[in-house]
Chain A
Amino acid sequence: SQKIEQNSEALNIQEGKTATLTCNYTNYSPAYLQWYRQDPGRGPVFLLLIRENEKEKRKERLKVTFDTTLKQSLFHITASQPADSATYLCAPWPSNTGNQFYFGTGTSLTVIP
């Protein structure tokens, strides 16, 4: 069956360092992979979308890679700031089933001043 796995533990990093979050998926081949940010008690907010024929995408301090062979996406935040502290969700779509819209359970990132 399909599975999406993100960093299983919370990630704590020092301000100014690069945070790297991992999203692995198994048993399907999504055409798109999205990353969202979610703050406590709020709905997710879209950050980036990368297509299967794109290796890398950047937006300001954010960078996403998409390796369809490894079935993995890496999400990088460079020069991290305390304001980047949040939970980050990956969403590789579509899946093989009728549902199509699976999200990972998220990685909680804390940037320490």
Chain B
Amino acid sequence: DVKVTQSSRYLVKRTGEKVFLECVQDMDHENMFWYRQDPGLGLRLIYFSYDVKMKEKGDIPEGYSVSREKKERFSLILESASTNQTSMYLCASSLAVYNEQFFGPGTRLTVL
């Protein structure tokens, strides 16, 4: 079974802190994705990566950066957390670009 794990289920941070969200997949997938999900807005893509060290911006990259140094790991970085980044963050991976995506359990981030 494909497994996508995320470093935390719940996280509380202060405004201005640098926040790291980690995602690891164990199926040797080429593609990895970071989404945020908010009520009424659905899933929105922040960044995706189709290879190690490669990244593409999604719909809402402002205030975020990503890092993919190893194939299995994709990190989302909030450079200076703000209250409007309070959200559910979901990581996903896929074998081919438009194949099914396997999602992690999500990290519910609260920025105070």
Contacts from A to B (Cβ < 8 Å) = 31-32, 34, 41-46, 49, 89, 93-94, 98-106
| Cα of A2 to Cα of B96 in the assembled complex, Å | 23
In the assembled complex, how far is the CB of residue A89 from the closest CB belonging to chain B, in whole angstroms? 7
Q: Return 24 A-B CB contacts under 8 Å, by A number.
A: A31-B98, A32-B98, A34-B100, A34-B101, A41-B106, A42-B105, A42-B106, A43-B103, A43-B104, A43-B105, A44-B43, A44-B90, A46-B100, A46-B102, A89-B42, A94-B97, A94-B98, A99-B45, A99-B57, A101-B33, A101-B45, A104-B42, A105-B41, A106-B42
Check if B105 sits within 8 Å of A101, measured CB to CB.
no
Check if B48 sits within 8 Å of A101, measured CB to CB.
yes
Please indicate the chain A residues that have their CB under 8 angstroms from the CB of B26 in the complex: none
Q: Which of B43, B102, B108 contacts A103 (CB 8 A)?
A: B43
Q: Which of A32, A46, A99 contacts B59 (CB 8 A)?
A: A99
Please indicate the chain A residues that have their CB under 8 angstroms from the CB of B105 in the complex: 42-43
Q: Which bracket fits the contact residues of B?
A: 20 to 34
| Cα of A89 to Cα of B90 in the assembled complex, Å | 15
Known: A34-B100, A94-B98, A101-B58. 9 other contacts (CB 8 A): A42-B105, A43-B92, A43-B103, A43-B104, A44-B103, A89-B43, A93-B98, A99-B59, A101-B45
Do most interface residues of chain A lie in helix, strand or loop, or is the interface mixed? loop
Q: Would A46 and B101 be within 8 Å (CB), given that A98-B56, A99-B58, A99-B59 are in contact?
A: yes
In the assembled complex, how far is the CB of residue B10 from the closest CB belonging to chain A, in whole angstroms? 10
Which residue, B59, B98, B102, has most C-beta atoms of chain A within 10 A? B98
Contacts from B to A (Cβ < 8 Å) = 4, 33, 40-43, 45, 48, 56-59, 90, 92, 97-106, 108
| Cα of A3 to Cα of B48 in the assembled complex, Å | 21
| Cα of A79 to Cα of B48 in the assembled complex, Å | 38
Please indicate the chain A residues that have their CB under 8 angstroms from the CB of B59 in the complex: 99
Q: From A103, which residue of chain B is reached at the shortest CB distance?
A: B43
